Structure 1
């Protein structure tokens, strides 16, 4: 069986509006829970601060209720978090210690490493849940790429 039909990736901004994390997660769950109920079990997360970190932590917690969840952390290169604060690095290490698999897309830091990470997430998925408020940047790129690849996409920005 093609695992893509059982896989959803996530993409979103590094900076989330203060105090909005739980509301954003609630909107993610509106799409995530039906996917779980239809047999999606693999979830690719990019390992960045902000949306990726929120989703990874929540997915790992959700495994208590849905033990079939498998979380795949897809990082652009080894040492990706080396310039983060100590608290951010500790949070990332806690996530990394709990995920089912870690994938490194490139050997060295580069712009291409981030694009390779984004493409890897999309290329292995049938679904994509994003948090994108701008038409430019990595998240917008990833959603456009996902659309071109035929993924079913949901953008969980707040409805106006």
Structure 2
């Protein structure tokens, strides 16, 4: 089972969202998830990367995968185990992130989303996942309890 993330650049209520994200990721790991895909843009993605780095210490089998929208170097590549680049050369640059997000949704089983308003790339990605009938874990609607170690 594989997971992808989407969320807004601005993350409000950081500690509350981070606690939720930690619980969600731990729950998914307990369900057998080993591959976590992220786009690497914005505040939510940086938070995801940080939580995954923390969880990798406890669960070294997990893989943190950065899915690039552009071939140029991403400043956050070192925060991931490896990178992937879907074939997006023929996609106009202004649509590359949206197309990359759609590919991530298609290729994964679960979408973990921090989407608090109905506009922007994260909202479009969430809407796409809903159309594709993917399992969606949405902040703040989905609650996960902290698991004991």
| TM-score grouping bracket, smaller chain normalisation | 0.7 to 0.9
In 2, distance between residues paired with 1:109 and 1:47?
A: 19
Gapped runs of 5+ residues in structure 2? 143-149
Q: CA deviation at 1:72?
A: 0.8
Gapped runs of 5+ residues in structure 1? 1-5, 82-88
Q: 1:62 aligns with which of 55, 59, 68?
A: 55
RMSD: 2.0
Partner of 1:13: 8
Aligned-partner SS, 2:133: coil
In 1, distance between residues paired with 2:110 and 2:118?
A: 20
Aligned-partner SS, 1:64: helix
1:77·1:109 contact (CA, 8 Å) conserved in 2?
A: no
Aligned-partner SS, 2:3: strand
Which stretch shows the higher mean deviation, 30-39 or 65-74? Answer: 30-39
Deviation sequence 1:15-72 (CA, Å, 0-9, x none) = 112xx22221111223222211111110000110210111012102210001111011
Deviation sequence 1:86-136 (CA, Å, 0-9, x none) = xxx4xx2xxx12422212242376122111211121111111111001111
Partner of 1:75: 68
